[in-house]
């Protein structure tokens, strides 16, 4: 083992970029869906819940294929986005971020929803008597109180995004420098004769990154918790 090659560094940076973008893009949607699932009472709630969890149980290849059909060049949304905004997802790192976002979405929604359900509803009632509308209450009481859960949801989604393989390779392929994230690079190295050393370096690295992310989220949640106790 002789230190890191420029290619290794590029793979890591790309993976972090994809995972971070996926996490940030999905955050507002995850918060909205989690709030609706936690506090909403409406017909079809169960269906929405099942839909959100679908990427967790579907074969990732299926999710990737569906993404290709929807966000690909000829896809319903993909074509429209390219025509109007010049944004392309197919075979681009942005597509990898979308795949990461979709695959991490159920984990993020789940964590945020649980955190919201744990917020004392009576405190939200107090906010209402002080003049805060339901939406304002959500923004300044419920979500801040659920912050540790939101952070842990983000970390989970981020970790999932770093390890995402099936949906990514199906949707945006395995293009070095563009869509080849950590997991895909490790896969490629294992398939290449003599690539073992590189594969092992990346394997250790991905273990280290995931571990650090989990430790960081624990520490963050702990600190937030202590400030309020």
Residue 74 vs 227, nearer CB to other proteins: 227
Residue 131 sits at φ, ψ, to 5 deg, of: 100, 5
Does 123 interact with other proteins (rule: CB under 8 A)? yes
Does 118 interact with other proteins (rule: CB under 8 A)? no
| Sequence-ordered list of residues with C-beta below 8 angstroms from that of 220, at least 6 positions apart, any chain | 148, 151
Taking the C-alpha atoms of residue 134 and residue 131, their distance in angstroms, rounded to an integer, is 10
Size of the site for other proteins (CB under 8 A): 22
Taking the C-alpha atoms of residue 57 and residue 79, their distance in angstroms, rounded to an integer, is 28
Pick from 80, 136, 204, 211: which binds other proteins (CB under 8 A)? 136
Angle at 129 between CA 124 and CA 132, to 5 degrees: 65
Region of 15-23, 38-46, 88-96, 138-146 interacting with other proteins (CB under 8 A): 138-146
Beta carbon of residue 117, minimum distance to other proteins (angstroms, whole number)? 16
Does 126 interact with other proteins (rule: CB under 8 A)? yes
Region of 26-34, 134-142, 153-161, 188-196 interacting with other proteins (CB under 8 A): 134-142
Beta carbon of residue 133, minimum distance to other proteins (angstroms, whole number)? 5
Beta carbon of residue 34, minimum distance to other proteins (angstroms, whole number)? 18
What are the residues binding other proteins (CB under 8 A)? 120, 122-123, 125-134, 136-137, 141, 144-145, 147, 227-229
């Amino acid at each position: 083992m002789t230190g890191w090659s420029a290619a290794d560094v590029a793979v890591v940076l790309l993976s972090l970029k994809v995972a971070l973008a996926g996490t940030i893009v999905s955050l507002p949607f995850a918060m909205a869906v989690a709030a609706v699932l936690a506090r909403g009472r409406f017909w079809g709630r169960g269906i929405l819940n099942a839909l959100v969890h679908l990427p967790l149980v579907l074969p990732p290849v299926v999710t990737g294929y569906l993404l290709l059909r929807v966000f690909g060049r000829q896809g319903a949304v993909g074509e429209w986005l390219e025509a109007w905004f010049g944004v392309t997802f197919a075979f681009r790192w942005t597509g990898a971020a979308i795949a990461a976002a979709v695959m991490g979405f159920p984990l993020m929604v789940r964590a945020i929803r649980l955190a919201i359900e744990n917020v004392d509803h009576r405190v939200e009632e107090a906010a209402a008597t002080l003049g805060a509308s339901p939406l304002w209450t959500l923004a300044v009481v419920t979500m801040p109180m659920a912050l540790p859960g939101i952070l842990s949801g983000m970390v989970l989604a981020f970790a999932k995004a770093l390890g995402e393989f099936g949906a990514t390779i199906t949707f945006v392929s395995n293009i070095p420098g563009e869509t080849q994230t950590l997991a895909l690079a490790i896969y490629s190295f294992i398939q290449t004769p003599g690539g073992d050393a590189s594969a092992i370096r990346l394997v250790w690295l991905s273990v280290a990154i995931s571990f650090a992310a989990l430790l960081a989220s624990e520490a963050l949640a702990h600190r937030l918790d202590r400030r309020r106790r």
